[in-house]
Copies of this chain bind each other. A is one copy, B any other.
Amino acid sequence: MFPEPRTLSPKSRLFLPDSRLPRVYLVAAGPGDPDLLTVKAQRILGEADVVLHDDLVTAEIVAKVSPRASVFSVGKRCGPKNISQEEINSTMIAYARSGLRVARLQGGDPLIFGRAGEEIRALGEAGVDFEIVPGVTAPLGAAAAAGIALTERGAASSVIFLTGHHSASRARSELGWPASIRPDATVVVYMPGDDHAGLAAELCARGCDFETPCLIVSGASTVQQQSHLTTLRELPSAPQLPSPRLLIVGVVVARAQAGNRESGFGSRKISASVFQ
């Protein structure tokens, strides 16, 4: 399903300063706003011959790719495409071996709940050199837009990144959830899914207070961004905002709301079922 790799002229030193070949760049696209690409990521997108990106990468970011590049959407979340991780790996490797400059672009940062782990191993086993270009992981984009710090001295002293996955039927203990959660931890649930009631129950069963404020953020940092502020008690009646979304739970959420109101961030489409 991919076109045949073509051979290119020798690579520019700007792109490959140590001239080792082949090389694949595993690039963080950040939460969605192209201004939140790193300088390095933007440069690589402008110079790559082949870009493989997932569904979470926004059109505004894909637009940063060189018009000469071959661009493939390899997302697995929606649409008629059905591309396995093995196909993505072998495609990256084939293009890189043919001498093309390959950028594998993933929403957020691929090192946290992305595919980088599997891709690093595949590239390593194939003897293809690679470089990881880190970026802004989605919760930082969401927190920044909402005016929330994820830690705060004396109030929130740790951050836990979990995934809710799409499958409500899988026990959350199988998803790596800890047995207990401190009330002063900030918890971020990536891909929290639609089962708000189950999510709230699981968090409270682990020690979170029912009154803990939480914020659902959809499309963080994009023009489509929406947020909904609530508590774990009220989470089951919260609206189902569009994907991609995440849930931030912790005392910092309430603090940020106070800051938001006073500093005029209220215009940012934060809907609230509490804290009126």
Contact = CB atoms under 8 A, between A and B. Distances in A.
Contacts of A163: 151, 157-158
Contacts of A137: 137, 140
Interface in A125-147: 125, 127-130, 132-137, 140-141, 143-145, 147
A15 interface: no
A152 interface: yes
Contacts of A31: 134
Given A182-B178, A185-B176, A134 B127 contact: no
Instruction: Kindly report how many copies of this chain are found in the complex they form together.
Output: 2
Contacts of A147: 120, 130, 132
B117 A140 contact: no
A201 interface: no
B180 A252 contact: no
Contact of A135 (B111, B140, B258): B140
Contact of A129 (B132, B258, B263): B263
Contacts of A263: 120, 123-124, 127-130
A120 B132 contact: no
Contacts of A155: 117
Which residue, of A33, A110, A120, has the highest number of chain B Cβ atoms within 10 A? A120
Interface in A141-195: 141, 143-145, 147-153, 155-163, 175-182, 184-185
A143 B111 contact: yes
A269 interface: no
A39 interface: yes
A196 interface: no
